[in-house]
Structure formats: C-alpha cells, structure tokens
Amino acid sequence: MTAASEERVPAGAGGSSAAEMYALVERLYPLCRSITGDGVRATLDIVGEYLPLRVHEVPTGTQVLDWTIPQEWNIRDAYIADAAGRRVVDFRASSLHVLGYSVPVFARMPLSELRAHLHTLPEHPSWVPYRTSYYTPTWGFCLAQDTLDALPEGEYEVRIDSTLTDGHLTYAEHVVPGQVPEEVLVSCHVCHPSLANDNLAGIAVATYLARELAAREPYYTYRFVFAPGTVGAITWLARNRERVGKVEHGLVLACAGDPGQLTYKRSRRGDAEIDRVLRHVLSSSERPHRITEFTPYGYDERQYCSPGFDLGVGSLTRTPYAAYPEYHTSADDLDFVSPEAMADTLAVCREAFAVLDRNRRYVNLSPYGEPQLGRRGLYDSLGGRSDAKQAQMAMLWVLNLADGTHSLLDVAERAGLPFDAVADAADALHGAGLLKA
Amino acid sequence: MTAASEERVPAGAGGSSAAEMYALVERLYPLCRSITGDGVRATLDIVGEYLPLRVHEVPTGTQVLDWTIPQEWNIRDAYIADAAGRRVVDFRASSLHVLGYSVPVFARMPLSELRAHLHTLPEHPSWVPYRTSYYTPTWGFCLAQDTLDALPEGEYEVRIDSTLTDGHLTYAEHVVPGQVPEEVLVSCHVCHPSLANDNLAGIAVATYLARELAAREPYYTYRFVFAPGTVGAITWLARNRERVGKVEHGLVLACAGDPGQLTYKRSRRGDAEIDRVLRHVLSSSERPHRITEFTPYGYDERQYCSPGFDLGVGSLTRTPYAAYPEYHTSADDLDFVSPEAMADTLAVCREAFAVLDRNRRYVNLSPYGEPQLGRRGLYDSLGGRSDAKQAQMAMLWVLNLADGTHSLLDVAERAGLPFDAVADAADALHGAGLLKA
Amino acid sequence: MTAASEERVPAGAGGSSAAEMYALVERLYPLCRSITGDGVRATLDIVGEYLPLRVHEVPTGTQVLDWTIPQEWNIRDAYIADAAGRRVVDFRASSLHVLGYSVPVFARMPLSELRAHLHTLPEHPSWVPYRTSYYTPTWGFCLAQDTLDALPEGEYEVRIDSTLTDGHLTYAEHVVPGQVPEEVLVSCHVCHPSLANDNLAGIAVATYLARELAAREPYYTYRFVFAPGTVGAITWLARNRERVGKVEHGLVLACAGDPGQLTYKRSRRGDAEIDRVLRHVLSSSERPHRITEFTPYGYDERQYCSPGFDLGVGSLTRTPYAAYPEYHTSADDLDFVSPEAMADTLAVCREAFAVLDRNRRYVNLSPYGEPQLGRRGLYDSLGGRSDAKQAQMAMLWVLNLADGTHSLLDVAERAGLPFDAVADAADALHGAGLLKA
C-alpha cells in the first residue's frame, strides 16, 4: 500500500506533505478507536510524534453540559468461531467486526439465536458495516452479507473480550500561537476505528495544517482539537466555556481524502466570516466544489453551532457525511483516500486561513475626497491613460470602502478583485498613513 | 339543480360537507342581497341555521370611520313591461335585473329615453351584468344585450318598487373560542345578490369551516364576520377598534367555488404569518395554485390592510376578483360553482389553520451542545447508520433553531421537513422538558 | 461642420436645443483646456453667454482637502520642427499635441532622444492620444503613430512655449433656485482640451438643462458646477463643506453626446433616491440602456462619493468612461457627437428631475379603512364594473402606502403604475385634504 501510494504522489509542490499525510493515515488505520479507550490514546500518541499535543483525560461520570462521560471501553479480542473452532469473523482482521462499545460476551449459541446480534449490508454484500451502541448496553458483530450467507446453521462460539469500566475520555489540543489572542478552532473527530476517510484523512490534514501554520506567525491563534465525536466535542465545550468567547472562527475537518469534490457546509449563522472566506476561496479557485447550508446533522459542527454557542464554525469535507456508498463501511479503506485529495484539502485550508488572517476592517483617515496618491508615490504619474492597473484600482476601492464596516473581503468581492491584491493595497495605504486598522 | 349537484359529490371524505355546502349555496342563491336590507337579513337567518350567529344592526346615519351608514334599501318588485303589459325584464326572474340601490320609479317612457337606464354586456350578449349605484341616487335595469336588441322601439312601463329609508346595516359574527384570546379573523362579504361564486361559495365554506373548528378546540379564537362589502367591513372595524389589536391573523374568503386554481393574495405586510402559512400549505400540497402580491383592490382585505390597521389578513379565492369572464354577471350561477371546488377550498383552510394553530416559537432549555436524546428515549440507540429518520432530524432542527426567534414553520421551511413532523418533534421535546413555549 | 450638424437635427421637439447644444460644442472645441489656466476661463466665458455664471478663482497653494491648488499652466505655442523648419507636429492644429501641463522647452535634439517625449497610439496609428502630467514636471508631445513613422531620423527643434506660475484654479457655478433650499448638484468637468464627447457634450447638456429648469420653478434648488476634474471637484467640496449637507441628490454628467446607449452608474450608496429615479426613468422608457454599479473610478463621482461625503450622486453618460476606442484620442471629435444624442441625454435628465421633483412622502390622514372617495368626487359612481381605472388604482395605492415611509416612486414601482399617474393621484388626494406632505 505504501508503495502504491507513493507512486500516486505528484512530483510538484505539496508532494512531500501529501505523501507524509498518506503515510500517517496508514499508521493510524489498523487501530480500534472508539469514544473512549486505548485506541484513542494510541492515535494521539502517533499524532503527537508530528505535533506537540496536550492530552486531556476526563474521568467517567464527569458531567459535561447535558451529558455524562461514559465508562471507558477497551477490547483485546473478539471472534465468532464455528464448530471446528475456526474463526469465521475475527476482530484481528478488522476493528470494524465488533459493534462499537459491545459489552463482553463468551457463549455458545445456534446461528438462529446469534443472528439478532449480527449486522450486515445486504445492498453491498462484500462490505462490513460500521456500527456502535454507545449508550445502550448490548453486544454484536458486523460482517459481510456474503460471509453470513456462507455460514451453515449450527452452534457457534462467540467471544468479545472487552471491558467497560470507570476510566477516562481522552482528547488532545495543539495551539499555534498568533499575533492576537482571538482564536480559530480546527476540530476533527478521532473516535472512528478503521475508516480511512472518516476520519484519518481529516486528522492527517489537520496535523499538517498545524505544522504549516506554525512555520509562519499567523495573525489568529489557531487551536486544533482532536476529540471523539459528539461527547468529545461536548466535553471540550464544557471545559472551555470561558474560551468559547474567544473563538471567532472555526472549521470542522472530516472526510478529507476521498476522490469527490470539496464541500463546504456553512455555519448555523450562514454568513459568518468563515463562511464568506470559504466561499470566496472555493469560488475563486478553479476547483469544482459545493457550498451547502447548515444542517444540525453531520459532525461536531452540531455542537459548536448549537444555539447556546452558535459559533462561526463551518465544516469542510470532500464528499460530505453519509453521501458516499463507502461511508461507514469497510470500503472506506486505504484505497478510498489519496495523497492528492488530502493535499488538495490542505491547500484549500491554507488559502482560506491566509485570507482569514488578512481580512481586517480599516478606516480611511482621509475620507473627504480622494487623498492625493501621486505625491505619496502610490499613483501612476502619467494621466489620461485608460488602463488603470489592478493595484491602483485596489487602492481606490480600499479607500472608498474603508469606513470601518467593510472588511477587505467585502472590498474584494464588491470590486471583483483578487483578495491578495486588495490586501496588498491596504498594506500600502496603511504604510502611507492613510488607513488605520 | 340539487339532483345534478348531488351526482357531482365525490364518494370519499369531505363528500358530505361538499354536498351540504353546495345545498347552502342553492338556498341562498335566489335572495336579493345588497349592502343593507332584508336580503342580508334573510341570508344571515339561513346561515344561522347552520351556525349560531350574533347579528348586529347599525342605524342609518351612524358614523363609521370615514363613512356613514346609508339608508336601508328594500325592494319588492321591479320590471319593464311592453305596450302589451308583458314583462320583458322581470326582477322575479333574477335579482340581478335591478341596478342595486335603485331609487323607486313608476313611469312610462319610450325605449329611446329608457336606454340611459339600461346596462348590458355587449361582449357577452346573453348574460345579465351586475351593477349597483350605492351612493349616487339613480335607477336602472340590467339585462342581456340579446334581450335589449329584441325590444321594439315604443313605449314601456318601468317600475321599481323599492324603498330607501332610514333603517340599519346588518352584519353577523360567529366566534369559535380558542385556548388563547388572540384571534383569527375570517371575513366574507354577504352583499351580492344572485352570484354563486361571489360570494355564496365563500359564505358556505366559511360556515363549514367554523363548524369544523368548533369540533376541535383550536388554539386561536376564530372570529367569523359575515358583512356587506366595504361599508360592512368598515362598520365592523369602526365598532371593534379595541379588538383589532387582538386580531393576529386573518383571511378574507371569496370566490371559493369556481373551477379555477386556488389563489392566495398576500397581506399588505407581505410576510405576515398568515402569508407564510398559506404559501407553505399551498406549495407543500400538489395543488396548482398562485400566490399574488397585495394590491389595494379586491375584497375587504382593502379595509383590514389599510395602513392604519395593517392587519396580517390575506385573501383566499379560487380564480381571483374580476379575473374570470363570468365575474359580476348572471353566468356566475349555480353551474359555475361545484361541491368539489368548495371542498378543496375548505380543505386548504383546514390545513392552513391547523398549521397556524401549531406554529409556536420555542426556547431550547438545553441550548449548549445537543442534549442527550438517547437517555430520554428520543434517539435511536444504534449508532453509525446513515438513515437518520425524519423524526430525529425534526428534533435536531427544532433544538437547533429553538432560540425564541424561529417559529416551527421557519424550522420546517429551513429543514425542508413537513410541518407536522416538526410540530410533532416539538411536542415530544416539550414533553421531555427540553423546550419551553 | 455647422451645416452638417444642422442637417442632422430632427424636425420635432427638442430640435432647436439639439442644434444649439451642438453649436456650443463646436465653439468650445478648439480651446486648449487644462485643470488651470486661460482655456478654462475662455470656456466659462462662452458658457456664461448662455447662462449667468458665478466664477471662482482659487489661488495656487491653497490647501483643498488632501490636495493643494497647483501652479497655473498656460500655453501660447508648441511644435516640433524638422531640419527644414517645417512644423511636423503643431499645437496650432490641435491642442492634443502637447502633453498637458508640459513644462517649457526650447531645444534641438535628434529624434532618437526626442522619442522619450513622444506619445502615440500604435493600435490606432492615425489618432493622436490625449495625455497629461499634472503632478510630475516633464514635457512631451502627442502625435499619430503614422506621423512618427514618417519622421526621418535627424535633428528636430522642439518648442513648448508654456508657463507654470502661481495663479489660480478656476471653476464656476450656476444656481436655479427652487421651492426648497435642498439641492440637486449637477457637475461636469471642464478640464479636457479638444475632446468633443469628453466633456464638451456634457457641458452643453448641463447648460441647456439649467436653462430648461429655470423656465419652470423646480422643487429642489439645482446647482450646476463646471469645474476641472478631480482637483476642481475637490476644491468645490473643500469650499462648500457646509453646503454639502444640503445636497440631497446629484448627477455627474459626462460623455453625453456619443452614439452609444445611455449608461447610469449608481452612487456609492447604490440605492440613493437618484439611483432609483434614474433606474425608473430609464427602464420605463423604451431606450436601450445600462445601469452599472458604483466603482471608485471614472469622473468626479469619485470625489462626491468618497466615504467622508458619500453623497447620493450618480453618473450619467452615454458610453461610459474609457469604454469606447475614441476615448481620450483625437477621434473624440465633432463627428463623434451628435445633436440627437445630446438631445436624448438632455431628455432623460429632464424626465429624471421631473420625477425627482415630485417624489414626496405623504401621510394618509384617513388611514383607518379606505376614505370614502365617492363623496369627494374622486371615485366612479357606478359600482360592480371590473375595469378599475388607472387613476383610481393610483389613488388606492397612494392611500394604502402613504404611511410616511413610502415615496411616490415606491408606490409607482410597487403598483406597476406610471409615476405621473401616481403623482397626479397624490395631488388629487392632497387637494381633497386626505394627505399631508
């Protein structure tokens, strides 16, 4: 697999991080993650090799908003064995084979009785589904319909060697300090077992995004949260009620490596700055893409955009939540994601945060008539020509709209100019003392 | 006619009230109504057999807003007779033959002189037009152009045995008490003589709508006003200045039985709740329909939506005011309306008021993150599946938007879910203590 | 040329002013204008024969907003002569041949050295470009590429007999007094040399517009400003800081005579009343036209719409700024403009200001229900007819929307009625005491 993926890495820029992100996905793929337990710890240990992480352990029973941290689930082994003792379903082959959070079981029973505990996907008979039962104690196995169909009636031994005990919920944070304390939150869920796109690709893109951001001193402080879905995000919110007020923008990263086009799902607000930035970056690029409205379903934007918080947090995926057949099945494997797709997702994040970091509101200090740009060396000296250059148009637009209400992105969109040209013009005017931030 | 109409009644649900509404139209059809007089009283007497009415009599000369209650008009007989004494135009054949509010006349005159008092419809030579002259004292006859063309020159006897005397303007109300004192106004005009669609069909639909509402305890208090057009609505407004503040929604019902598609005309506000409800109900159904903007012409929405009142009152018709050739002619007869069309209009009113009655604004009492629905028995226990059910989506949407500003209709429209699914979800969440009204 | 132009004048109404405007353009065409100097004074002297002007002289060195009045530039002669003493480029043939604001020069030099001072239009080899260098002291000549190509190498005598000395910037105003002190500003630039469309046509249309307005007593006070571009408008703004608060509407007139379709460029506000009036007038007429969004480039709307002033000033042109090949070249000559085009531009100004002058907000003094129009003689007495007349609809719409927030233009647009019908209805209702202004 590694060899194959390296062949797929393009020669140009980004090839290096593309290959490295893919390699990280490969390392994380075999682990059996859940909303608690050692699988999450092992995942964060690996990510921690790429990025210093602060790991938090929150005890079972802790009240987090409306929820309570559940018992910790760990699993050593699980199988269904036939009368001959042959494992016909084996956890060692794939972490998906066990219903997530299964209570322990060790029993013999006829297939007729076992069937109530078996989950298949009849419409994709060779795929194993991913299923969990976090808050209702039960046990089960997930397997291919083909496998099930081939099982003769008769007695089977079933064993799930799991524990559900008081322990902890584990999540981690990485902070890239910025020039200002206001924060951008990047959140990805780490609770899914062997599913490559959902969400190992998101974890890998977030990891490399954090490394890139650290390499330049960003304007905003960027906080990366690697946490189990739903209860993990709720835990982070519960423990950061004060900090939430500083989170001005955010992005939930998921499904970052599949071959589909990029999809940005707006925040609940619909017109938050992050929404406008992503729309601008995606529509300015030549990428095919989709912008979709907020829905209270999907990933942890559900929590960040709950009405009490209502944060400006959108969600970036390639093919979105539940919109591809491989979703939550064994077909979401290492072949389903590619270095190129992850590099493309990373590039859009890079471009979006570059815009976000420069997107200020300025006030024109010489707002009555145009200031004389010529004597400040900011204007072409030969008049009468009709080919006003983009840089000069950008300066005129910034001066005209710099009334404290329009952001530079507003200016770029109204002017139909590239954001960078507008931000460069603002820098030049600011340097000449014509603008204040 | 009765036999024919019964044949047309469909076998299914609503067939009974459809037939009964049509029978009511048949009973009311022969009466000669005007803005005052015994025709209105007889009409209200008949409606009163179906529905307890409170009848109001307002004396001639009473000031009502900018208007004054006119003299009461009554008519016993009217005709044009030829030299042989044969009635060539006869009020007994149709109440339309007399210009409404004609002063009394008893004279002989040549046809040449009579012509100035005759009204025809040359473009529909076999139809008799409906004409009135409420505030300019004159007399006249309406007849078919064919009839006029067949009249030889010569002397005719004309007689209108009418009276214009101090009396009263008559209107009636019926109230269906609700759980709250805030009111929904349903208004229909009762001043037109033998015109079936305009507005006997409206009167019949309003009557059966009131009966249906009384059978369930509605949320709002529903007030039905049966009043002469213009001056009657103005009289009601003048005498209910205090009550107007309680009228939160309203509907003017007219032209409710013709074969055309349903038309909802928005209130002056354009986005009143009744406007949104009717748009939702019509566009959610498979009915062809039209939504039109407010204009200050038409029926008594003109008065309810005058700028001093500016009530949230729209108008529901089938083919609207003046938009069908039969409008205000003898062709608006018992064949022009059907039980099915009236039943369809009634059904839309029923659906719209069902939505209106459930359309509340709630506040999520657990707005920080999602509340844990599973432990409250509100969430499917098996995770990982992508087929989120409509009921669960409805709950998530209600929780996400229940911030006191979004109504359930807002939620349904933003979520793209049926209103009833959203309202059911709100009931379930309210029952679980997660919402307050 | 005069003969030719007179042939083109249409026989109908406006023919007279069309011919006269064209004749005014012909008189102004030969003069060498710049942002200061005697060319502007001569121009204003001629305009002053048509319209009493108040001429302002502002001394060199005066601070005006962010700018300083520059030295005054005057020129008597300029040429490039070949070895035989023959003038191969001659200012006497066209004022365009000298780079505007050239410093004086009298020298001999080889063509190779001279080339750095020569400006041509290679893509239109027979046209002479218009170029200036107001704020960087230099000298230069503009000539046809064909002329340059025909020049043999060798020595040339170059002379520019210009002066740059302390003097004045000159601009002029004409005021048409109105019924109210609130002002409408009409501004056109007077600084371009021999360019007919840009802006002699604008000057001529403004001149005749002022004459027409004076002939009727307008509602608003109309102020016409004839000033050099940019620094002239800035000077007017600097010297009229108090008055600016009274300028409720305005129009920059330029490029008023070319064969292209009319173009209205919105004010920075985008929905100022002048924007809505021009859109209404242009879209109500059968003229092909364009409405464009504000940009901070073009003519003196740049200054009037700078964020500190943000006046409701739009710009009316035919083909806009820099959008025709003849722009700022010798091809913008007397053949490029026509009496018909100027008459058409004048007609739109006339229509727009007629709407603006009548566009009031009224309050319905009888807002509860409809007032009884019949007893005031404002309503057709015979009821029941469906052909509601436009005048009656206009009255009902005015009454319905006269709540102090809707202008008559709002009413006309919402009602889909001609503005004049609505304004006439308002006059009738006002006359009947039903409205107050």
With an 8 Å Cβ cutoff, is C32 touching chain B? no
- Interface touch C383/B134, C-beta < 8 Å: yes
The percent of residues above 90 in pLDDT, for chain A, comes to 92
Write out the two tokens for A89.
Answer: 């379903």
CATH number of C73-165: 3.50.30.90
What is the mean predicted confidence (pLDDT) over B153-164?
A: 97
Confidence bin at B389 (pLDDT 50/70/90): confident
Statement: residue C335 has pLDDT above 50 = yes
Q: What is the DSSP letter of A407?
A: E
Q: How many helices (H) and strands (E) does chain A have?
A: 13, 19
**What's the CA gap between B168 and B59, in Å, rounded?**
4
Statement: residue A364 has pLDDT above 70 = yes
Of B369, B388, B393, the CB nearest to A66: B369
Statement: residue A3 has pLDDT above 50 = no
Write out the two tokens for B46.
Answer: 């008949």
Per-window interface: C 79-108 vs A, CB < 8 A: 100
Residues of C in contact with A367 (CB under 8 A): 306-308
With an 8 Å Cβ cutoff, is A433 touching chain C? no
CATH number of C361-436: 1.10.10.10
Predicted confidence (pLDDT) per residue in A252-268, tens digit: 999 999 999 999 999 99
Name the neighbours of B, counting chains with at least 3 Cβ pairs within 8 A. Answer: A, C
Instruction: Tell me the residue type at A323.
Output: A
Closest CA in chain A for residue C244:
A368
- Interface touch A382/C133, C-beta < 8 Å: yes
- Interface touch C374/B230, C-beta < 8 Å: no
Confidence bin at C135 (pLDDT 50/70/90): confident
Predicted confidence (pLDDT) per residue in B270-307, tens digit: 999 999 999 999 999 989 999 999 999 999 999 999 99
Q: How many CA atoms lie within 13 A of B149 on its CB side?
A: 10
- For residue C8, the model assigns a pLDDT of 38
Name the neighbours of C, counting chains with at least 3 Cβ pairs within 8 A. Answer: A, B
C105 φ, ψ to 5°?
A: -150, 145
- For residue A388, the model assigns a pLDDT of 56
- For residue C6, the model assigns a pLDDT of 39
- Interface touch B383/A322, C-beta < 8 Å: no
CATH 1.10.10.10 location in chain A: 361-436
Please list, in sequence order, all residues whose beta carbon lies within 8 angstroms of the beta carbon of residue B52, skipping any fewer than 6 positions away: B174
With an 8 Å Cβ cutoff, is A309 touching chain B? yes
Q: How far is B412 from chain C (nearest CA, A)?
A: 30
Of B375, B386, B399, the CB nearest to A327: B386
CATH fold group of domain A2-69+168-356: Aminopeptidase (3.40.630)
Statement: residue B12 has pLDDT above 60 = no
With an 8 Å Cβ cutoff, is B230 touching chain C? yes
Of C366, C386, C400, the CB nearest to B66: C366
- Interface touch A400/C305, C-beta < 8 Å: yes
- Interface touch B400/A268, C-beta < 8 Å: yes
Residues of A in contact with C133 (CB under 8 A): 381-383
Q: How many CA atoms lie within 13 A of C381 on its CB side?
A: 12
Please list, in sequence order, all residues whose beta carbon lies within 8 angstroms of the beta carbon of residue C434, skipping any fewer than 6 positions away: C364, C365, C366, C371, C376, C399
Predicted confidence (pLDDT) per residue in C177-215, tens digit: 999 999 999 999 999 999 999 999 999 999 999 999 999
Query: How far from C26 is each of B147, C1, C256, CA to CA, in Å?
Result: 73, 8, 14
Query: How far from C258 is each of A384, C107, C225, C252, C338, CA to CA, in Å?
Result: 19, 40, 22, 16, 7
What is the mean predicted confidence (pLDDT) over A324-330?
A: 97
**What's the CA gap between B171 and A55, in Å, rounded?**
77
- Interface touch B399/A306, C-beta < 8 Å: yes
CATH 3.50.30.90 location in chain A: 79-165
Tell me which of B66, B131, B134, B197 to substitute to probe the interface with C (most C C-beta atoms closer than 10 Å): B66
- Is the domain covering C2-69+168-358 a CATH 3.90.76.10 domain? no
| CATH value of A79-165 in 3.40.50.10800, 3.40.50.300, 3.50.30.90, 3.40.720.10 | 3.50.30.90
What is the mean predicted confidence (pLDDT) over B244-255?
A: 98
Q: What are the residues facing A253 on neighbouring strands?
A: A316
Question: Out of A1-10, B235-244, B399-408, C186-195, which region has the weakest mean confidence (pLDDT)?
Answer: A1-10
Statement: residue A82 has pLDDT above 80 = yes
Contact C102, C139 (CB under 8 A): yes
With an 8 Å Cβ cutoff, is C393 touching chain B? yes
- For residue A136, the model assigns a pLDDT of 87
| CATH value of B74-165 in 3.40.50.10680, 3.40.190.10, 3.90.79.10, 3.50.30.90 | 3.50.30.90
Q: What is the CA radius of gyration of chain B?
A: 26
What is the mean predicted confidence (pLDDT) over C107-132?
A: 97
Q: How far is B16 from chain A (nearest CA, A)?
A: 44
What is the mean predicted confidence (pLDDT) over A269-288?
A: 96
Q: Identify the CA nearest to A25 among candidates A206, A179, A166, A232.
A: A206
Predicted confidence (pLDDT) per residue in A186-231, tens digit: 999 999 999 999 999 999 999 999 999 999 899 999 999 999 999 9
Query: Which is more confidently placed, C411 or B374?
Result: C411
CATH 3.50.30.90 location in chain C: 73-165
Q: How far is B375 from chain C (nearest CA, A)?
A: 53
- For residue A201, the model assigns a pLDDT of 98
Q: What is the DSSP string of C99-124?
A: PBTPPPEEEEEEHHHHGGGEE--TTS
What is the mean predicted confidence (pLDDT) over C161-171?
A: 98
Write out the two tokens for A393.
Answer: 């148009």
- Interface touch C383/B238, C-beta < 8 Å: no
DSSP-derived 3-state class of residue C76: strand
Of C134, C238, C306, the CB nearest to A383: C134
**What's the CA gap between C203 and C4, in Å, rounded?**
21
- Interface touch A307/B369, C-beta < 8 Å: no
What is the mean predicted confidence (pLDDT) over C352-360?
A: 98
Write out the two tokens for C162.
Answer: 């210009």
Per-window interface: A 325-384 vs B, CB < 8 A: 327-328
Name the neighbours of A, counting chains with at least 3 Cβ pairs within 8 A. Answer: B, C
Residues of C in contact with B69 (CB under 8 A): none
**What's the CA gap between A11 and C151, in Å, rounded?**
55
Q: How does the average pLDDT of chain A come out, rounded?
A: 94
Which position has the token pair 């062809």? B288
Of C368, C383, C397, the CB nearest to B132: C383
CATH 3.50.30.90 location in chain B: 74-165
Of B237, B296, B328, the CB nearest to C396: B296
What is the mean predicted confidence (pLDDT) over B357-376?
A: 96
Query: Which is more confidently placed, A233 or A380?
Result: A233
Residues of A in contact with B381 (CB under 8 A): 133, 135-136
Closest CA in chain B for residue A237:
B369
- Interface touch A372/C308, C-beta < 8 Å: no
Closest CA in chain A for residue C117:
A382
With an 8 Å Cβ cutoff, is B261 touching chain C? no
Q: What are the residues facing A170 on neighbouring strands?
A: A57
Statement: residue B43 has pLDDT above 80 = yes
Predicted confidence (pLDDT) per residue in C369-412, tens digit: 999 998 898 876 555 554 458 999 999 999 999 999 999 999 99
Of C65, C302, C327, the CB nearest to A386: C327
- For residue A383, the model assigns a pLDDT of 58
Residues of B in contact with A308 (CB under 8 A): 364, 367-369
Q: What are the residues facing B226 on neighbouring strands?
A: B172, B188
Statement: residue A12 has pLDDT above 80 = no
Q: What are the residues facing B109 on neighbouring strands?
A: B156
Q: What are the residues facing B175 on neighbouring strands?
A: B223
Contact B205, B345 (CB under 8 A): yes
CATH 3.40.630.10 location in chain A: 2-69+168-356
- For residue A379, the model assigns a pLDDT of 77
Predicted confidence (pLDDT) per residue in B167-208, tens digit: 999 999 999 999 999 999 999 999 999 999 999 999 999 999
Q: How far is B367 from chain A (nearest CA, A)?
A: 5
Please list, in sequence order, all residues whose beta carbon lies within 8 angstroms of the beta carbon of residue A142, skipping any fewer than 6 positions away: A96, A97, A98, A99, A118, A119, A120, A128, A129, A130, A131
The percent of residues above 70 in pLDDT, for chain A, comes to 95
Closest CA in chain C for residue A401:
C307
- For residue C116, the model assigns a pLDDT of 97
Residues of B in contact with C399 (CB under 8 A): 296, 306-307
Instruction: Tell me the residue type at B430.
Output: H
Contact B186, B247 (CB under 8 A): no
Query: How far from B279 is each of B192, B194, B289, CA to CA, in Å?
Result: 29, 32, 10
**Per residue, what are the HEC states of chain B?**
CHHHHHHHCCCCCCHHHHHHHHHHHHHHCCCCCCCCCHHHHHHHHHHHHHCCCEEEEEECCCEECCEECCCEEEEEEEEEECCCCCEEEECCCCHHHECECCCCEEEEEEHHHHHHHEECCCCCCCCCECCECCCCCCCCEECCHHHHHHCCCCEEEEEEEEEEECCEEEEEEEEECCCCCCEEEEEEECCCCCCHHHHHHHHHHHHHHHHHHHHCCCCCEEEEEEECCCHHHHHHHHHCCCHHHHEEEEEEECCCCCCCCEEEECCCCCCCHHHHHHHHHHHHCCCCEEEECCCCCCCCHHHHCCCCCCCCEEEEECCCCCCCCCCCECCCCCCCCCHHHHHHHHHHHHHHHHHHHHCCEEEECCCCCCCCCHHHCCCCCCECCCCCCHHHHHHHHHHHHCEEEEEHHHHHHHHCCCHHHHHHHHHHHHHCCCEEC
Tell me which of C62, C69, C295, C309 to substitute to probe the interface with A (most A C-beta atoms closer than 10 Å): C295
Q: How far is C374 from chain B (nearest CA, A)?
A: 7
